[in-house]
Amino acid sequence: MSPRVSQEAMNSMLKNAGVVVEPLTGAIMSAEAKAKRESQARLLWQEAIVAYLRKGYELPCGACLGFELEHFIVKKDTNELVSFTGECGVEDVLASIQSYYEDSIFECDDAGDEYLVGLIRDKSVITLEPGAQIEISIGPVTEITKIEQIYQQFLDEINPVLEQKGLMLLTIGCHPTAKASDIPLIPKKRYYYMDKYFTSTGKYAKNMMRASTSCQVSVDFSSEADAILKLRVSSILAPLLAFITDNSPCFEGEAIGSRSAISKTNDDASALATKIDDASVLTKTTNDEALMRMARTKIWSNVDKCRAMTAPHALNDNYGFYQYAADILDAPAIFLPTGDNGEPMVYVGNLSFVQALAAYKDRYNPNTNPERIVEHMLSLFFYDARLKNYVEIRPADSLPLTYALAYVALIKGIFYQRQALMDFANTFLNISADDIVLAKEALAKDGFKTIIYNRPATDWLEEMLEFANNGLPEQERHFLEPLAILVRERKTLLDFAVADFAAADQAHSQFAIADFAVADFAVAAQKQTQDETPSL
């Protein structure tokens, strides 16, 4: 009886003979033929990605905004997790507002059961994130007031449903009461494949997918050069954007504010700090207590180095659409979507998009319907700023509407003002991806007192607000005021949460997280400073 040869030994013998086995299909071919096939796939799909990106400056809008705001749906009195299925679940909420929308999105599980996972109408789309976080996407629009109107319509429709069910929307960076491991995925195969892959790439992947929410703003570009300029500037400003929108007072279901508010002992407080890797995210509040800042930013730092943080090579000379496309194609694909002829999704793990698309070239033809596949590829990368046929700027936590609109105004005022972009670009000539990481760590550690990129953080923030104010039409400048007040008062939304957590702890009472007391503070601060500080 012949001894059994292991697959590894067999592959080694075939390789020595100049023959390889395709890992996905099992096809046997010469190494030369495989290399040629992958080279052809690279060229064809790189051209397809570049063509898709170029459509960004061929589209009619030209100076539009896109807006995405994610929310948790929680139980009103306790902030507890609400599941996707069941009576009063998130799917039930969607079904209750389905009649307001023109179309619906369904997903089937392996058993063939169908689930409602999204709603569509003109200028707005409702979708669900992996942990049943509900996201509204608005746009493209040109005016901030239009975003406000569309969002308010969404609230007017969903809030009565939530009230009836004893639920509410929560705009906060991390889930207030649930641990990521306790939050089930919604029945969407895409999320199952991502979850399977990310298990091996980063310790906070579950937190990212299941227990975090964000606010994202998209801007148009007028040329490839304009796209790269906006990508670079937004990537370098990402630490400051994440810091000033920090709205994550909880992690793994526990408060991460002042130590007195979260723990009765220093040992317990230290143990909680280590939940987010190390104590490097601790800073000092005015009462000299430890404060953990930018928790969601810390989560993203340990998800997947191939597809988060700063886009690879984005700060290099001669960077452009072809390099962006090459970096996408060379990264692990995780899975491929439904084939051109309805073939099922296929999990490919660590194989690159080039390798996977070459192996399944009969399923995915770059010459017939490439946009669907290109959109799939681009959607699987989560850089601080990423390219589609617009630039999507992603560092901000989920925010209450007033602050979300202020953030939109900040982005619009800077990124649609050529002089501001050029000034930042010239200032940032020698900034590297490592400098961006150091800036995030410094802001998380020392907050407003820190120095990044050789200047005080407060100087950068004030300059950003000044540029934005100058770049906005006069009728939209008032939207900036909530962020301007935060910077003047040297506060973030996290600081309000810490103060309210501490007060609740002192009073031995429960604190309702929703939106904190920021509106009251903003009004008081505005009255206090309007005579002594020129308004933006």
Q: DSSP for 389-424, please give it.
A: SSEEEEEEEP--HHHHHHHHHHHHHHHT-HHHHHHH
SS3 track for 326-354? HHHHHCEEEEECCCCCCCCCEEEEEEEHH
SS3 262: helix
Reduced to 3 states, what is the DSSP secondary structure of residue 16? helix
Q: Which secondary structure element, helix H or strand E, spans residue 162, and what is its range?
A: helix 144-165
Q: What is the mean pLDDT of residues 506-517?
A: 40
Average pLDDT over residues 3-12: 61
Per the listing, tokens 């810490």 go with 498
CA distances from 55 to 33, 221, 223, 390, 394 (A): 34, 10, 10, 9, 21
3-state SS record for 107-146: EECCCCCEEEEEEEECCEEEEECCCCCEEEEEEEECCHHH
Q: Which residue reads 């005022």 in tokens?
A: 413
Beta bridge partners of 455: 452
pLDDT of residue 433: 97
Top-confidence residue, 109 or 450: 450
Note the pLDDT of residue 355. Answer: 96
Q: Which two tokens stand for residue 100?
A: 């307001």
Compute the distance between CA of residue 201 and CA of residue 197 in angstroms, rounded to an integer.
7
pLDDT at 111 (0 to 100): 86
Cα distance between residue 212 and residue 251, in whole Å: 9
Confidence of residue 414 (pLDDT cuts 50, 70, 90): very high
Distance CA 194, CA 306 (A): 13
- Paired tokens of 307: 């597809």
> Residue 450: pLDDT above 50?
yes
* Residue 172 main-chain phi, psi, to 5 deg: -160, 150
pLDDT by residue (tens digit) across 313-364? 999 999 999 999 999 999 999 999 999 999 999 999 999 999 999 999 999 9
Q: 381: which DSSP letter?
A: -
Phi, psi at residue 391, to the nearest 5°?
-105, 120
Average pLDDT over residues 420-437: 95
C-alpha atoms less than 13 angstroms from C-alpha of 442 in its C-beta half-sphere? 20
Interhelix angle for 224-244 vs 457-471, to 10°? 130
